[in-house]
Structure 1
C-alpha cells in the first residue's frame, strides 16, 4: 500500500473502522459491507482479503472468548450454604450446558456440507485475475444489496434449500469472504437468536483459517505490516459494535438496511462499470 496517497490511506482506515463495527455489532458483514468500498479505493482484492481474514480471526475469537467468560460468571454455582442454594447453583450449571453461546451440533453439520465448496472457492480466488475477481465481488454484493433495499432477505424453508444456500455461501466465502447472507438465511432458522452471532463467529474462524492456510501455501502476501495500523482501526469499530450489539438485537432497522443496500448497489454498479471500462480499454 506504500504507493497509495494519504487520502486513500485515510479512507481505508475509516472503512476498516466500519468493518469492525459491523462485524461485532451484527456478527456478519465485516467483509460484504466493506469490501466494495475498499475496492473503490484500490481495486486489488488479494491485498484486502488477507487483512480482513486476519481481523476476523482476531476479533471473532476475542468476542467468543469474552461472551463465554461472561456466561460462566453468570452461571457459576453459588457456595453450598444450604439445600436451596445448592439447587439454584445446579440449575445454573444446567442452563450453561444448554444455553451456551455456540450451537456446536448444528455448526458441525454445516461444516460437513460447506468444507468442499469452500476449498473450491479458495482455489478459484487464487487463480482468477484481480479484475475478474472484483467483477464477481461487485456482482454478488449488488445482488445482496437488492435484498436489503426491498427488505427481502434470503429465506430457506426446506432442508434441500438449506444445503443449496450453505454450498453457495461456502463457495462465495472461499472466493471473497462475502457468503454470510446466504449462510445466515440457514443458521437463523436452526439456531437461537442469542447463539447466532457467536455460532457464526465460530464458523467464520474455521473457514477463514482454511483460507489463510491456502494463502500461505500459495505464497500470497498476508500484508502483515499493514496490521500495525489497520488492526487498531478495526479495534475501534469492534468496541463500538460491541456496545451497539444488544440494541441491534432488539431493534428492527429496515430503514438502515435500505439505505445501506442502496449505497452498496450504487457502489457495485460503479465498480462494475469501471471494471468493464478498464477491460475494454
Structure 2
C-alpha cells in the first residue's frame, strides 16, 4: 500500500499525524510511536503498515540528532539495561508478526489507554527497587518489540539512572538499537518496509522534528502540564479505538454465528 491508495482527506490526516510524531519524538525525547500509532490505526488498522515507516523515520532522525552527540550518551547504563530490554524485544517482534491484527490493535490501544490515564492524572510510572527496574525494562522491551510503544515504561527507569543532561541522547541510542533490530527482522522475513512511503513522509515528519528540537527545553520546563493535556487526548483516542474494535469483534462474531 502507498499514499496513492488513500483519499485526499486521509493523506492530509497522515501528514498531520507524522508532523505530530516528529514533534513528540524530539520535543519529549520519546513517545513518537506511542502518541502517533493509535491515530494512524484510525486511518488504516494494520500496524505492519505503519511500524516500518515509523522505524525508517526514527532511524533517520535519531541518527541525525546523534551525529555529534555520541559523547553525551550514558554508555555504561545503556549496556547494563540492554541485557533486559533486547531479549524481551525479540519476543515482542515475534508476537507482532504472528498475532491477529485485532489482538495487536487491542493491545496497542490498551497500552496507550494506560499511558493516557497515568499522564492525565499525574501518576507517573515509578520504580524504587532493582527488581522493579528490571521488570519495567523487560516489559518496555516487549511492548517496544510488538508495537514500538514501550518508551514510557523504559523512560521511567532511565530517568532515575541517567542524568537529565544525558537522558535524551541515551534514549535515542536505545531507540536506534531497538528499531534496527526490528527492521533487520522485517528484512530477514521479507516484510514490506513501505520504504517509498516512508521517504515521501520524511519531509513532513521533519517539520515536527525541527519544531520539537526548538521547543524541547520549554516542554521540559512544563512537562507536567504538557503530559496532562496529552494524557487526556490519549484516553479519548484509546477509548474510541477500543470501542471500534469491540464493534468489529461483535459484527464478526455475529456473522460467523449466522453461518453455523
How would you bin the TM-score normalised by the shorter chain? over 0.9
After TM superposition, the structure 1 = structure 2 runs for residues 57-72 of structure 1, keeping only pairs within 5 Å, are 57-68=59-70
1:174 aligns with 2:145: yes
Note the residue ranges of structure 1 that are not aligned, 5 or more in a row.
Answer: 69-99
The corresponding residue for 1:89 is none
TM-score by length of 2: 0.93
Give the TM-score taking structure 1 as reference length.
0.86
**Paired residue for 2:14?**
12
- The total of aligned residue pairs comes to 249
Q: How does 1:133-212 map to 2 (within 5 A)?
A: 133-212=104-183
Match of 1:260 in 2: 230
**Pick from 79, 92, 98: which aligns with 1:121?**
92
Of 105, 110, 113 in structure 1, the residue corresponding to residue 81 of structure 2 is 110
Please point out which of 44, 54, 57 is paired with 1:55.
57
Give the 3-state SS of the residue equivalent to 1:32 in structure 2.
helix
CA-to-aligned-CA distance 1:248-268 (integer Å, 9 cap, x gap): 23x133232212111111111
Secondary structure of the equivalent of 1:125?
A: helix
In structure 1, what is the equivalent of residue 24 of structure 2?
Answer: 22
Gaps of 5+ in 2: 252-260
Looking at CA atoms only, which structure, 1 or 2, has the larger radius of gyration? 1
Answering whether residue 212 of structure 2 is matched by residue 241 of structure 1, we say yes
Is the contact between residue 126 and residue 218 of structure 1 (CA under 8 Å) also seen in structure 2?
A: no
Distance 1:66 1:20 in 2: 20
Q: What is the distance in 2 between the residues matched to 1:185 and 1:227?
A: 30
State the 1:224 CA deviation: 0.8
Aligned alpha-carbon RMSD (Å): 1.1
- Secondary structure in 1 aligned to 2:247? helix
Output the CA distance in 2 between the equivalents of 1:188 and 1:258: 19
